[in-house]
Amino acid sequence: MNVFVAVGERENFAAASRWLDLSPAAVTRAIAALEHQLGVKLLMRTTRSVRLTEAGSRYLVDSRNILASLREANAAAAGINATPRGELSVTAPVLFGRYFVMPCVVRYLQAYPEVDVSASFLDRVVNLVEEGMDVAVRIGHLPDSGLKALRVGQVRRMLCASPDYLDRVGRPQHPRDLQDHTVIARDNILPRLEWRFGDTVAPIVQRIRPRLTVSSNDGAVAAACAGLGIARQPYYQIADDLAAGRLEVLLPDFEQAPWPIHVVHRETRYGSSKVRSFIDLLVDHLRAQPHLA
């Protein structure tokens, strides 16, 4: 299973052999033996590439879970759960990770010198099981899943623009007034962009035609501060600009209910001390942030 996971994740026999410190021939024999034992093809090989079959993709997920359980069982039996050690993987949205998670990661690494952390800050939902992550920060309402979640705060999403822009163009009084303004928006995979306002049961839905579409929230904030137009951003990303007078909040009476923030992790039979200790530190850290209250 270890060999198969290494090959499946890298889709390359040579890379897996280097990672495992095994000869390419040993890796090839191990995969062939596993496929023979299971009676199913796990990998499709050509002279140029290696791809997982449908059965191989499912087996990769199961293998990761089994190997993780084995590592946790070995750690518990060896009695090393008292001292966090090993590798810990964490994921969070890009700017949230930079502002709030990274300071916590640094404190954790300073407190536990035998732990190495891999932090992936991505503006997408990371599948903890399939991508082998230990802990994630999720913003928004959670779907039903087998993951353990701890609520640590909430995020208000606000319309904002620079005072200079508003003095030139005027201040909207209702969401429908946005059609007369320059709008700055995050990139959107849907054919049309709609912003919702007010009550979640019967919201006001306003179709938006952005003049500027950007791939990151910090780019949208920079454009708004420069006086281009109106953006919609999480409060924690614009709090300093609001305090400094570079931005102004718009339509506060139409603001939607805040989105919850959760720390999410996989629940396992054996408690991992490195995961538990990091979650404890992260939860306390996030709950103490005034911008997330």
Q: What is the CATH number of the domain that holds 193?
A: 3.40.190.290
Of 102-116, 119-133, 139-153, the range with the highest mean pLDDT is: 102-116
pLDDT at 253: 93
Q: Which of 60, 78, 96 is the last residue of a domain?
A: 78
Contact 161, 149 (CB under 8 A): no
Same domain? 246 vs 266: no
pLDDT digits 0-9 by tens, 257-276: 999 999 999 766 555 788 88
Number of domains in the chain: 3
Q: Which of 78, 106, 133 is the last residue of a domain?
A: 78
Q: Which of 36, 52, 78 is the last residue of a domain?
A: 78
More confident residue, 155 or 80: 155
CATH of the domain at 41: 1.10.10.10
Same domain? 72 vs 141: no
pLDDT digits 0-9 by tens, 131-162: 878 999 999 888 766 788 999 999 999 999 99
pLDDT digits 0-9 by tens, 173-222: 999 999 999 999 987 645 468 898 987 778 899 998 899 999 888 899 99
Same domain? 90 vs 72: no
Q: For all residues of the chain together, what is the average pLDDT?
A: 89
Which residues span the domain enclosing 7?
Answer: 2-78
Same domain? 107 vs 143: yes
